[in-house]
Amino acid sequence: MQGVIKAYDPGTGIGVLVCDTDLADYDLATNALAGSIFRMVRQGQRVVFDLDETGRATRLRLGSEVDMGTPGFD
């Protein structure tokens, strides 16, 4: 799935993102940045993510142009 960071507090690690496909808000899991290239994220940043068993966003990562659906990158 892909979406955009809506809010993020680097002090607490609490954040919310908006999914592109259904415009739903998903809270970030406590380990959302673990193992990723991100040390923190910023509002408006586009990410690719998965949902954990509790429905929170986890495994945040950058996507390729194909993953992001950029026109001309099929």
What is the pLDDT, as a whole number, of residue 35? 82
3-state secondary structure of 46: strand
Residue 10 CB partners (closer than 8 Å, separation 6+): 40
Q: What region does 57 belong to: left with phi over 0, alpha with psi -120 to 50, or beta? A: beta
Q: What is the tens place of the pLDDT at every residue in 4-62?
A: 999 999 889 899 999 998 999 999 999 998 888 888 899 999 999 999 999 999 999 88
Domain range summary for the chain, segments of one domain joined by +: 2-67
pLDDT band at 66 (very low <50, low <70, confident <90, very high): low
Q: Which CATH number fits domain 2-67: 2.40.50.140, 3.40.50.720, 3.40.30.10, 2.30.30.90?
A: 2.40.50.140
pLDDT band at 70 (very low <50, low <70, confident <90, very high): low
3-state secondary structure of 68: helix
What is the pLDDT, as a whole number, of residue 62? 83
